[in-house]
């Protein structure tokens, strides 16, 4: 029956116990987003972006389908090898518990000591490619000026300190955002160098150059090692995704009588509405397997019964239902309730907070509206939209609202004539017996008396001018202050 | 000082002592003390671990950071750690690793020339100080049958032509800063249980019911005496407070048949060391660290600065 399922679905333990929506979720979205390990040529491949997990593990449970993965047993000399497939996750000790309110709404708490020991550490390699026409193969028929070559020149667009004379950085160089990765320039001197975009950095792993069909290619790949940090996304095999909410020290976690401390703490509220008891069964079965139990298979549609799992746990000297007595790590007192704990296969997904952080103080603005731009690569701001505005209004911090929507957005001013309530534009006009002066002037009243300056967002001023150009005048009533 | 004194005189009884394992009882004290001891053992007993790695050549399959991380996690013998200085507090050097007070230098050179895969292990690390070396597990009686397993902790495997050459500096640190400095593999304690069997009520049970009570506990706490057919407590400490027996008794409709109390003032500690320091030394060091921390509080208490630092709390601490 489990062979009806696809590869990625067939290795979900107890998939038949989960809500179908969750299973679909898992193998369509999370499974391909999970960070695993590139099996072929990991050290020389130059994909645009790859992620590799430091310590991929095999799940504790097996399914009939997972047995079919990897290369079969074959012998080299005397020793026989069966190569297992690399899985894209790790077995974490998961406790279903609340933890100081830091795992609300699908967030999870992780053990900092576990992370420091290498759990969910991963490397991220990004490659930069560039090409130039090969001069030799083209002869001299090209115009000499347009010929671009790789090489180091003093660039105005970024730092070139880490580059060698050939225009490539040396292996091991640590590049920051704003540095030049590949130096490229025309013989005329104009600069075509490739620059690291905002937020990109890393140390140089591979530098390759080759020529093919009259073109010279170059590739530089940058490596970055990341340990999980707040905001990184994780998922179990049952569509239970969550972001990291807090890194807690080992000694603060509740500990069992054997001294076992959870790696991950998830919130019990993740279960009732999601209908994924498969995860609980996985943890309970995994615990039995870790203790040397003989029941190892969790093949969908032929899963062991709950009774078998609980009996296996009982035989291993543990509470039948996977619960454990724990002591409070901060006070040393016994916790009143039992806590469900067990090894669960968890995956680190590619969505990491480091790639998504947004911050800016002063930055580029849109030339028409003078509001901050919304381009991801150009230090974009985060929009305070209508809903956010409503929320601020509801809470009442008007000074904050004023700051977000005016001072820090598109603060501007315009002039209004208090006599005719029309907008007074800044013009250059000649005054009898004097030089030309530039300033606000009401052309309806032909005077500068009663012209006042008002603070308005540039966007508001813009629409008034646009309406004015269509023949619609807006009158402004103003009050002096 | 005024006010009631909460001073108690805890007693320690050692049950079992091995190089990397200790089991002892701690009596006549409170959970706060027991837990403080546990927390200090995990997070604040200093050890020495590799903290800085300079890689000269690395053509292995693992990247530089990977190897540096693995090196950091190798336990080093740290008997000297208590008397060493933290690198950041050391005024005899500028932290370049040449200083005898705060750092130890290591070298590693390995190149695979043969066709066989070469395992680079912790045994290939050469220390500049014979008192700080990678922990050797081969003589701890871990029971290795295969001599190849005694080659220490694998750092990386090299195939023909690959090379690894590096210099590493080990420094003193504590588990709070990074888990690699934690000397404890496992530190845990349990309250000593007190198990009462209501013999009168037990006599009303049939033999079958008695067996089911005995078997309801996943650990061997109870046993049925084959002669007298009585339920006896064979090993109260095997009880893990899992409530399984209590639930069973309840389900049988005999609440109160078995009652378990946790003794609030006696603890059974289990300490396992990573090998950086001996388990017994770990406990002693933990007490020493705890004393130092208390001394720091006491010193503050006596000075006027306490007032500045803690405000009203400072006066309060002095019994004001
Ligand atoms: Zn006017
Ligand atoms: Zn020093």
Inspect the interface and report whether the beta carbons of A332 and B175 lie closer than 8 Å: no
Same domain, B138 and B97: yes
Domain presence at residue B91: yes
Whether A43 contacts chain B with CB within 8 A: yes
pLDDT bin (cut points 50, 70, 90) of residue A307 is very high
Lowest mean pLDDT among A313-322, A434-443, B124-133: A434-443
- Distance from residue B97's CA to the centre of ligand 2 (Å): 7
Same domain, B207 and B167: no
Query: Whole-angstrom Cα distance, residue A117 to residue A108?
Result: 19
- Residue among A255, A318, A323 whose CB faces B188 most closely: A255
Domain presence at residue B315: no
Residue A85 or A317, more confident: A317
pLDDT reported for residue B268? 95
- Residue among B32, B176, B182 whose CB faces A331 most closely: B32
DSSP 3-state percent helix, strand, coil across chain A (nearest 5): 20, 30, 45
Domain presence at residue B268: no
pLDDT reported for residue B141? 52
Residues A423-449: what's their mean pLDDT? 86
Query: Whole-angstrom Cα distance, residue B283 to residue A391?
Result: 55
- Identify the nearest ligand to the CA of A421 by its number: 1
Same domain, B103 and B225: no
Tally of CB atoms within 10 A around B66: 21
Res. A450: pLDDT tops 50: yes
pLDDT reported for residue A81? 60
Contacts of residue A123 in chain B, CB cutoff 8 Å?
63, 65-66
Same domain, B103 and B146: yes
Residues A253-261: what's their mean pLDDT? 94
Give A274→chain B minimum CA distance, Å. 28
pLDDT bin (cut points 50, 70, 90) of residue A205 is confident
Give B84→chain A minimum CA distance, Å. 24
Give B244→chain A minimum CA distance, Å. 7
Same domain, B229 and B114: no
Same domain, B162 and B217: no
Each residue of B66-95: pLDDT tens digit?
999 999 999 999 998 888 888 888 877 775
Domain presence at residue B245: yes
Res. A52: pLDDT tops 50: yes
Mean pLDDT of chain A: 87
Give A43→chain B minimum CA distance, Å. 7
- Distance from residue A420's CA to the centre of ligand 1 (Å): 4
Residues A327-342: what's their mean pLDDT? 94
pLDDT bin (cut points 50, 70, 90) of residue A244 is very high
pLDDT bin (cut points 50, 70, 90) of residue B109 is very high
Each residue of B51-73: pLDDT tens digit?
999 999 999 989 999 999 999 99
Each residue of A279-301: pLDDT tens digit?
999 999 999 999 988 888 999 99
Helix (H, G, I), strand (E, B) or coil at A245: strand
Helix (H, G, I), strand (E, B) or coil at A101: coil
Interface test with B, best of A332, A333, A340 (most B CBs within 10 A): A332
Q: How large a percentage of chain A has pLDDT more than 70?
A: 94
Res. A189: pLDDT tops 90: no
Inspect the interface and report whether the beta carbons of A225 and B63 lie closer than 8 Å: yes
pLDDT bin (cut points 50, 70, 90) of residue B161 is very high
Residue A82 or B165, more confident: B165
Residues A240-265: what's their mean pLDDT? 94
In what helix (H) or strand (E) does residue A29 lie, and over which residues does it extend? none
User: Is A73 within 8 Å of A82 (Cβ atoms)?
Assistant: yes
pLDDT reported for residue A139? 54
Contacts of residue B219 in chain A, CB cutoff 8 Å?
317
Asked if A161 is an active-site residue, the reply is no
- Identify the nearest ligand to the CA of A440 by its number: 1
- Residue among A118, A251, A313 whose CB faces B43 most closely: A251
- Residue among A42, A205, A251 whose CB faces B39 most closely: A251
Residues B138-150: what's their mean pLDDT? 55
Nearest CA in chain A to B63: A205
What superfamily does domain A7-121+228-348 belong to in CATH?
DNA-directed RNA polymerase, subunit 2, domain 6 (2.40.270.10)
A257: number of CA atoms within 13 Å, CB side? 20
* Residues 104-133 in A contacting B (C-alpha not used; CB under 8 Å): 112-114, 116-118, 121, 123
Each residue of A92-132: pLDDT tens digit?
999 999 999 999 999 999 999 999 999 999 999 999 988 88
pLDDT reported for residue A143? 54
pLDDT bin (cut points 50, 70, 90) of residue B278 is very high
Inspect the interface and report whether the beta carbons of B243 and A331 lie closer than 8 Å: no
pLDDT reported for residue A270? 92
Res. A317: pLDDT tops 50: yes
Q: What is the pTM of this model?
A: 0.86
Same domain, B249 and B161: no
Does the domain made of A123-226 have the CATH classification 2.40.30.10?
A: no
The CATH number linked to B101 is: 2.170.120.12
Structural domain tally of chain B?
2
Helix (H, G, I), strand (E, B) or coil at A330: coil
Question: In three state form, how does the secondary structure of chain B look?
Answer: CCCCCCCCCCEEEEEEEECCEEEEEEECCCHHHHHHHHHHHHHCCCEEEEEEEEEEEECCCCCHHHHHHHHHCCCECCHHHHHCCCHHHCCCCCCCCCCCCCEEEEEEEEECCCCCCEEEEHHHCEECCCCCCECCCCCCCCCCCCHHHHCCCEEEEECCCCEEEEEEEEEEECCCCCHHHCCEEEEEEEEEEEEEECHHHHHCCCHHHHHHHHHHCCCCCEEECCCCCCEEECCHHHCCCCCHHHHHHHHCCCCCCEEEEEEEEEEEEEEEECCCCCHHHHHHHHHHHHHHHHHHHHHHHHCCHHHHHHCHHHHHHCCC
At which of B131, B147, B181 does a domain end? B181
pLDDT bin (cut points 50, 70, 90) of residue B40 is very high
pLDDT reported for residue A10? 87
- Identify the nearest ligand to the CA of B93 by its number: 2
Q: Domain A358-409 is in which class? A: alpha beta
Inspect the interface and report whether the beta carbons of B38 and A251 lie closer than 8 Å: yes
* Residues 68-97 in A contacting B (C-alpha not used; CB under 8 Å): none
Where in the sequence is the domain holding B237, given as residue range(s)?
199-256
User: One of A18, A47, A106, A375 is an active-site residue; which one?
Assistant: A106
Lowest mean pLDDT among A16-25, A414-423, B293-302: B293-302
Query: Whole-angstrom Cα distance, residue A198 to residue A177?
Result: 6
Residue A69 or B217, more confident: B217
Residues B17-41: what's their mean pLDDT? 93
* Residues 231-270 in A contacting B (C-alpha not used; CB under 8 Å): 249-251, 255-259
Mean pLDDT of chain B: 87
pLDDT reported for residue B320? 41
- Distance from residue A444's CA to the centre of ligand 1 (Å): 5
pLDDT bin (cut points 50, 70, 90) of residue B243 is confident
Residue A32 or B146, more confident: A32
Same domain, B116 and B224: no
pLDDT reported for residue B304? 58
- What residues of B are in the A interface, CB distance below 8 Å? 31-32, 34-36, 38-39, 42-43, 61, 63-66, 69, 73, 175-176, 178-180, 182, 186-191, 218-219, 240-244, 262, 270, 272
Domain presence at residue B159: yes
Break chain A into its structural domains and give their ranges: 7-121+228-348, 123-226, 358-409, 413-481
Sign of CA dihedral A430, A434, A436, A437: negative
- Distance from residue A450's CA to the centre of ligand 1 (Å): 8
Give B304→chain A minimum CA distance, Å. 31
């Amino acid at each position: 029956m489990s062979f009806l399922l696809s590869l990625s679905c067939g290795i979900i333990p107890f998939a038949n116990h989960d809500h179908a929506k969750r299973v679909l979720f898992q193998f369509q979205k999370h499974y391909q987003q999970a960070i695993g390990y590139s099996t072929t040529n990991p050290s020389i491949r130059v994909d645009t972006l790859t992620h590799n997990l430091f310590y991929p593990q095999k799940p504790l449970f097996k399914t009939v389908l997972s047995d079919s993965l990897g290369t079969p047993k074959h012998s080299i000399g005397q020793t026989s090898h069966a190569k297992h497939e690399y899985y894209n996750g790790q077995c974490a000790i998961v406790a279903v518990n609340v933890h100081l309110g830091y795992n609300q709404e699908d967030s999870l708490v992780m053990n900092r000591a576990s992370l420091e020991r290498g759990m969910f550490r991963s490397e991220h390699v990004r490659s930069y490619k560039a090409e130039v026409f090969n001069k030799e193969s083209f002869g001299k028929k090209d115009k000499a000026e347009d010929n671009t070559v790789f090489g180091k020149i003093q660039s105005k667009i970024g730092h070139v300190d880490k580059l060698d004379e050939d225009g490539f950085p040396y292996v091991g160089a640590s590049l920051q955002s704003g540095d030049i990765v590949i130096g490229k320039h025309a013989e005329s001197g104009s600069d075509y160098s490739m620059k690291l975009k905002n937020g990109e950095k890393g140390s140089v792993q591979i530098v390759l150059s080759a020529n093919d069909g009259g073109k010279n290619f170059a590739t530089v790949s940058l490596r970055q090692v990341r340990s999980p940090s707040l905001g990184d996304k994780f998922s179990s095999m049952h569509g239970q995704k969550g972001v990291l909410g807090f890194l807690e020290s080992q000694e603060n976690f509740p500990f069992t009588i054997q001294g076992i401390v959870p790696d991950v703490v998830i919130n019990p509220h993740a279960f009732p509405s999601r209908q994924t008891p498969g995860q609980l069964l996985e943890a309970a079965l995994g615990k039995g397997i870790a203790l040397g139990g003989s029941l190892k298979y969790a093949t969908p549609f032929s899963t062991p019964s709950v009774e078998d799992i609980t009996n296996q746990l009982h035989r291993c000297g543990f509470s039948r239902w996977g619960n454990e007595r724990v002591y409070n790590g901060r006070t040393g007192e016994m916790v009143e309730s039992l806590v469900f704990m067990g090894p669960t296969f968890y995956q680190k997904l590619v969505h990491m907070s480091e790639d998504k952080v947004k911050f800016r103080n002063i930055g580029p603005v849109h030339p028409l509206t003078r509001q901050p731009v919304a381009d991801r690569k150009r230090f974009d701001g985060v929009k305070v939209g209508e809903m956010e505005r409503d929320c601020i209004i509801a809470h009442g911090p008007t000074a904050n609202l004023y700051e977000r929507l005016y001072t820090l957005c598109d603060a501007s001013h315009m002039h209004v004539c208090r006599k005719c309530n029309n907008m007074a534009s800044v013009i250059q006009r000649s005054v009898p017996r004097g030089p030309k002066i530039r300033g606000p002037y009401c052309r309806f009243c032909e005077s500068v008396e009663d012209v006042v300056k008002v603070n308005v967002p540039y966007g508001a001023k813009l629409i008034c001018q646009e309406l004015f150009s269509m023949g619609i005048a807006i009158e402004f009533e103003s009050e002096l202050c | 000082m005024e006010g009631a004194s909460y001073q108690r005189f805890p007693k320690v009884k050692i049950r079992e002592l091995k190089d990397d394992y200790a089991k002892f009882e701690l009596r006549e004290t409170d959970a706060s003390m027991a837990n403080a001891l546990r927390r200090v053992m995990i997070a604040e007993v200093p050890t020495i671990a590799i903290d800085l790695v300079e890689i000269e050549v690395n053509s292995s399959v693992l990247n530089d950071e990977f190897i540096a991380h693995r090196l950091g996690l190798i336990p080093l013998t740290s008997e000297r750690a208590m008397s060493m200085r933290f690198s950041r507090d050391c005024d005899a050097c500028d932290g370049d690793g040449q200083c005898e007070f705060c750092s130890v230098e290591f070298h590693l050179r390995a190149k695979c020339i043969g066709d066989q895969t070469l395992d680079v292990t912790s045994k290939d690390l050469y220390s500049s100080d014979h008192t700080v070396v990678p922990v050797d597990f081969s003589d701890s009686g871990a029971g290795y049958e295969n001599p190849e397993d005694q080659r220490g902790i694998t750092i990386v495997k090299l195939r023909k032509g690959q090379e690894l050459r590096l210099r590493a500096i080990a420094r003193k640190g504590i588990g709070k800063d990074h888990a690699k400095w934690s000397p404890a593999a496992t530190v845990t304690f349990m309250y000593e249980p007190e198990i009462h069997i209501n013999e009168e009520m037990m006599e009303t049970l049939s033999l079958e019911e008695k067996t089911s009570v005995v078997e309801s506990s996943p650990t061997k706490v109870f046993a049925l005496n084959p002669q007298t057919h009585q339920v006896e407590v064979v090993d109260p400490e095997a009880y893990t407070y899992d409530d399984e027996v209590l639930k069973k008794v309840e389900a049988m409709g005999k609440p109160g048949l078995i009652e378990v109390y946790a003794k609030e003032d006696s603890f059974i500690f289990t300490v396992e060391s990573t090998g950086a320091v001996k388990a017994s030394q770990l406990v002693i060091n933990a007490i020493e660290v705890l004393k130092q921390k208390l001394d720091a509080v006491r010193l503050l208490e006596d000075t006027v600065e306490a007032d500045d630092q803690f405000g009203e709390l400072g006066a309060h601490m002095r019994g004001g």
